[in-house]
Amino acid sequence: MNRNEWITQAARLQSADQPFALVTVLSAQAPTSGKAGDKAVVTPDGQIHGWIGGGCAQPAVIKTVRRALLDGQPRKIRIAPSDESAERDLGDVLEFGMACHSGGTLELFIDPVMPSAMLTVVGNSPVARALVGLAPRVGLRVAVVAQGAQAADFPDADTVLNSDDAAGVSARLSSPFVVVATQGRRDLQGLKAALALQPQGLWFVASARKAAVLLDTLVTSGEDPAAVARIVAPAGEFIGAQTPEEIALSVLTSVVAARRGRESSAPASQAALTASMAASALTPSATAAAGSSSCCSTTAATEPKEAVKSKALAPVAASACCGGSKQAAGQAADTATDAVPSRTVEPALALAAVPVSVKSSCCGG
């Protein structure tokens, strides 16, 4: 047997994006056939490529490899002589009894190599394109779902589907994480396609008000209320994002946190907020306001006195939200005037007068 066979197999499996574990002998107390430094690649079906010792050690190794591939966590095990084959958790090491007559002891480190997770981005908006470009940099494979999408427009994507038909998407894709970044173009169809994938995490790039209207529509159209309630909107961490790239970064932060089993750092559950709003009765005016905005709501619950005086600040809030132009905001601030015609509001004062709730309602802001 070639003891270095594991090198070839590891390269082959990684190229095919298949899971495996690299098992290394850390120490060996004679008599054992495995020696310190020996390595093997072990696959989920129990195949061993390389050398880590004889048949007495292999059952415990294969059992532990399968566990490691389920949760992605490395493990250290010890296989020692014992009249019982039971395992004992000793804190930093998992010990297996070995009834073989050889009498040696092995310590091994099991390092799982997981396939790249798939992120599906639904939509062809600036935020969607920014997400597709950023996601591979953190080790995610990317699939794009957008009506009429062209593969040439998404060079970083592994898969591009040019239809957002829910049945077709679910038949062709399997993805644990989905971000809907349609931003006003086929929002409802995109959300239905995302739900059809039954992902582990689903984020919707939209304001809370708009999301509440659309999520309510999903439920009334027959979608599972429990699945709809798990949609996180507004999407992303609170980093003050404004440009499409910044919004994409904030959303990707949430995806990475979910992938690593961490909770969002947001002070309150965005998903719970959206679900609560979706469950409440929405007025026609709220529905109209949400439908007319492709991304954010610029209506504040309370307005500072300066903002009331100068309605010219409204364009500042609208253009600075969800990737709007900072330059446009600056120009609006420069020309803003208060109720006294002869007095010009200073730019710093004008920007300070933008309602705080406008900034926090941005997609990922």
pLDDT tens digits, one per residue of 201-241:
999 999 999 999 999 999 999 999 999 999 999 999 999 99
Domain boundary among 262, 292, 322: 292
Tell me: pLDDT of 84 over 70. no
Residues 6+ apart with CB under 8 A from 82: 97, 98, 99
Task: Give pLDDT tens digits for 142-163.
Answer: 999 999 999 999 999 999 999 9
Look up the CATH number of the domain holding residue 281.
3.40.50.720
Residue 220 lies in a domain: yes
Does residue 199 share a domain with residue 100?
Answer: no
- Label residue 260 by pLDDT band (50, 70, 90): confident
- pLDDT (0 to 100) of residue 56: 81
Task: Give pLDDT tens digits for 319-331.
Answer: 333 433 333 333 3
Domain boundary among 233, 267, 292: 292
CA distance 163 to 322: 25
Pairing relationship of beta strands 177-180 and 201-204 according to DSSP bridges: parallel
- pLDDT (0 to 100) of residue 280: 47
- Label residue 312 by pLDDT band (50, 70, 90): very low
- pLDDT (0 to 100) of residue 226: 95
| Cα angle for residues 350, 352, 357 (degrees, 5° grid) | 115
Tell me: pLDDT of 299 over 70. no
Which of the 8 DSSP states describes residue 261? T
Does residue 95 share a domain with residue 127?
Answer: no
- pLDDT (0 to 100) of residue 17: 82
- pLDDT (0 to 100) of residue 277: 46
Domain housing 167: 118-292
- Label residue 282 by pLDDT band (50, 70, 90): very low
Mean confidence (pLDDT) of the chain? 76
As a residue count, the chain comes to 365
Task: Give pLDDT tens digits for 39-81.
Answer: 999 999 999 999 988 788 888 999 999 999 988 899 999 998 8
Q: Which residues pair with 24 in a beta bridge?
A: 39, 109
Residue 186 lies in a domain: yes
- Label residue 172 by pLDDT band (50, 70, 90): very high
Does residue 314 share a domain with residue 275?
Answer: no
Instruction: Looking at mean pLDDT, say which of 80-94, 225-239, 258-272 comes out highest.
Output: 225-239
CB count within 10 Å of CB 363 equals 31
Over residues 27-49, the mean pLDDT reads 90
Residues 6+ apart with CB under 8 A from 348: none
- pLDDT (0 to 100) of residue 189: 96
- pLDDT (0 to 100) of residue 328: 35
| Cα angle for residues 64, 66, 67 (degrees, 5° grid) | 65
Domain boundary among 247, 271, 292: 292
- pLDDT (0 to 100) of residue 281: 36
Does residue 93 share a domain with residue 220?
Answer: no
Does residue 330 share a domain with residue 266?
Answer: no
Does residue 322 share a domain with residue 287?
Answer: no
Tell me: pLDDT of 124 over 80. yes
